[in-house]
Amino acid sequence: MPSKPLPTWLQLLAILLVAWLLKTQLFGHRGAGASSEDWTPEQIHGGQGQA
């Protein structure tokens, strides 16, 4: 099977993932908002947890 180029949405997803990883590695806890370590799976998947 000939290899097809990746779909545009997949390229965008990869770029976003790399950018997010770079932001997390470089800036870590600095910047507005909570770091990823402050989020529990319940809060991520269940929306707003404890107010």
Tens digits of residue pLDDT in 1-51: 667 877 899 999 999 999 999 988 876 655 555 555 555 566 555 555 555
Strand ranges inside 2-47, DSSP E? none
Tally of structural domains, the chain: 1
What's the pLDDT score for residue 13? 95
Determine the structural domain holding residue 36 and report its residue range: 8-47
Q: Which of 41, 45, 46, 23 is nearest to 33 (CA)?
A: 23
Residue 43, Cβ neighbours under 10 Å: how many?
Answer: 13
Q: Is 42 contained in some domain?
A: yes
Looking at the domain assignment, is residue 1 inside a domain? no
3 is a domain residue: no
Residue 26 domain-assigned?
yes
Which tokens in the block code for residue 43? Answer: 């809060």
Is 40 domain-assigned?
yes
CB 24 within 8 A of CB 33: no
